[in-house]
Amino acid sequence: MSDELPVAETTTKSSSGSARLNDGGSSVATETTNASAMPLTSTSSSAKYEALKSLSDIRTTRDLDEEGVRDILRRFTSNYGLQVTEMGALEDMSGLNDAFNSSICSMEIKVRLPPQGESSSSSADGGEEKTFHFVIKSPPSSSFVKMMHKFSRPFFNEIMWYEDLVHLLELANGPGCIDHLLPKCYFAYSNYYEGESNPSCCEKRSCPWFCYVPCKPAEVGILILENIKFRERQYRMYDKSKPLDLPHVRLVMKELANFHGMWLRYKFMAQKGELEPKVQADGNEVSPVPWAVFEKRHNTQKRMPKMVYTQLKNVAKRTVLRILAKYGNDEAENVEKCRQFFNRTAKAKLDEYMQSEPTPVYTLCHGDFWSNNILFSYDDENNASSPRDLVIIDYQLINVG
């Protein structure tokens, strides 16, 4: 489906709240008009409507005004008469999921959906009312983290997951094979993702990282996902301060095994040349990626130079030793164990990992699979010991391994 959207004769409606986003994705409340800021809501109900030339015009959260949100949802619902009736205020979520690789906020959008085939102007007082709950992710604003992301590209990884990898998986396992594990994706953009088809001369020549990283631009992008906590069947996180009980462990291991198994099926079929291109419902064709290319492309954890991992190991060592030192002689034995672990065990494991070769059962892994990235639903909301199903979020550290 083309990103070009038909022009509709309409006027925008003001929202109940006013907010704007900075480039990092954090929420900043506003009460006065700032000419340098891009508002998320229309400041005048009589403002002339100008259609987006393309959804590719939306590149950062600053571009996410009311008209942009409307066009995103028109494409998602295939209802080009959809109108935004209210945009709620942004709420920062960056601390709720211990997010280090993204800035995260949420937003509530209320829309009117006229019957298919009717224009928005002919059904201004009718149609279905619906509420969308967004989780909006963007690359972090920290200068240090931005530099590290030039190596590891975690935001790019998640964009590629929703834009490419989910569709590749369906080539081997059938349409919708993994939908039950995922939030819906409304919109995704990353300049790194767009640049994959046009790499720099240094990247084409496989130059050392210190040649191309200093001049590589910081990542810019936006990812809009469904907030699954507002699904009809409620989903919630398990208390991360407690170990998972046996019913939760069984469900987690079952779905994790299915996840790895579906990617192994893709791998084996790709190696045997058994995968064929398929045309999706939106008219776009998905072509299989040879496993050798796939494996090299998604060996994401080894993008980071070994010296960076070594520095991170040294920082962790100093931090743990500093904490233990506060307890004096009571922790003297653990201080020595800590030194041995970081100086010997951790160093040996890092060397082993960086030199390791692929094995026959290498598959695509989530990479950050812990309780904060899993949400459970229950048959009985008052009985958290009987999980029914789960959803897995945060695909920024996906990795072949």
Phi-psi region of 316 (alpha: psi -120 to 50; beta: other; left: phi over 0): alpha
Q: Are the C-beta atoms of residues 165 and 289 closer than 8 Å to each other?
A: no
Predicted local confidence at residue 26, as pLDDT: 37
- Overall pTM > 0.85: no
| Count of other CB atoms within 10 angstroms of residue 347 | 13
Predicted local confidence at residue 206, as pLDDT: 67
The closest of 66, 76, 74, 90 to 11, measured between CA atoms, is 66
Phi-psi region of 315 (alpha: psi -120 to 50; beta: other; left: phi over 0): alpha
Question: Would you call 86 helix, strand, or coil by DSSP?
Answer: strand
Domain boundaries, the chain: 19-138, 143-304+357-400
Predicted local confidence at residue 19, as pLDDT: 35
| Cα–Cα dist 166/266, whole Å | 11
Predicted local confidence at residue 144, as pLDDT: 78
Low-confidence ranges of the chain (pLDDT < 70): 1-54, 95-100, 116-126, 197-207, 209-210, 212
Tokens of 282: 């939106």
Q: Are the C-beta atoms of residues 192 and 156 closer than 8 Å to each other?
A: yes
Predicted local confidence at residue 8, as pLDDT: 38
